[in-house]
Amino acid sequence: MGSATREAVASSKRALASFASGTLSVSSAEDLFQAGRVIGESVQLRSFLTDPSNLPEEKKAFVDALFGRELGAEALSLLTVLVQANWSTSDDLLAGIEEIALRVAAITTPAGVSVENELFEFGTIVSSNAELELALNSTVGSQAAKLGLVNALLSGKAAEQTVVIVRHLVHQPRGRRIAELLSNAASIVADQSNLSIATVTSAATITSEHLTRLQNGLARRYGRQFTINQVIDPGLLGGLRVQVGDEVIDGSIEKRINELRLQLAG
């Protein structure tokens, strides 16, 4: 990520934070996703919006003319901030619009609902079904068929925010596979709530008491609160394997046995 993009993301997050509580709705997130898809479909439009020689006022006027009647006031305001910023690449602009839309979805999620966990659970379902994964990743199938499949799987079973997010990710993957899309989206949604995600693999379901101790331990280690995604792997002999971002903390018995084997072989 270039320095221009880092500042653009920071300024967009500041603009998002300036909205009064209750001002935004899930429709605001949906509007931003839709604007990102429109911009993503036009090379000329992306080039104009990311050309540093074009003045911010010109970009605002262009966005007003193109989206003024299509988007809600809140989404249009956020989109204006996004396009007026300087981005290192046009792909970064699309990623920035998507990130702010994801954060809006997180802000508008009802209390007691964990969109990040729902995204993880959906990703688990997709990863365990090769036919479903192929259907959602395929570049050949129609968008209508993919979106219909998402609706059939999630509507009425997941939060509206989760459905809106997954529909967008399937509609505009930007060269990414569904597992990567869902993982990245879940991380951003969690971050908006000042949480990080830890994926914990164990041979059996972790007890609530053990889970609480694990969350407290991770909080002490990383200096922030965590939400836990649990993966059950019966092939794991015992212990836990914890992944936080790219870091893996492997406390499984399997690893200890392998280490012992290496020591004996040496």
Pair 105, 165: CB distance under 8 Å: yes
Dihedral over alpha carbons 166, 172, 176, 179 (to 10 degrees): 10
* Tokens representing residue 172 in the block: 């505009």
Provide φ and ψ at 236, rounded to 5°. Answer: -75, 125
The helix (run of H) or strand (run of E) holding residue 227 is strand 225-232
Pairwise CA distance, residues 45 & 160, whole Å? 30
* Tokens representing residue 23 in the block: 């001002």
> What pLDDT, on a 0 to 100 scale, did the predictor assign at position 262?
57
CA dihedral sign of residues 111, 230, 188, 47 = negative
> What pLDDT, on a 0 to 100 scale, did the predictor assign at position 247?
87
Residues 202-244 pLDDT 10s: 888 888 888 899 899 989 999 889 988 888 888 777 778 888 8
Please report, for residues 125, 167, 237, the alpha-carbon distance to residue 263 in angstroms, rounded to integers and kept in the order given. Answer: 39, 50, 20
Tell me which residue of 162, 184, 178, 197 sits closest to 123, measured CA to CA. Answer: 178
Q: Is 82 exposed, middle or buried (0-12, 13-18, 19+ CB in 10 A)?
A: buried
Low-confidence ranges of the chain (pLDDT < 50): 260
User: Is 241 strand, coil or helix?
Assistant: strand
CA dihedral sign of residues 210, 113, 183, 232 = positive
> What pLDDT, on a 0 to 100 scale, did the predictor assign at position 259?
53
> What pLDDT, on a 0 to 100 scale, did the predictor assign at position 142?
87
Pairwise CA distance, residues 241 & 185, whole Å? 22
> What pLDDT, on a 0 to 100 scale, did the predictor assign at position 99?
98
Read off the DSSP letter of residue 174. Answer: T
> What pLDDT, on a 0 to 100 scale, did the predictor assign at position 168?
97
Residues 235-249 pLDDT 10s: 777 778 888 888 888
Please name the residues in contact with 156: beta carbons below 8 A apart, sequence gap of 6 or more. Answer: none
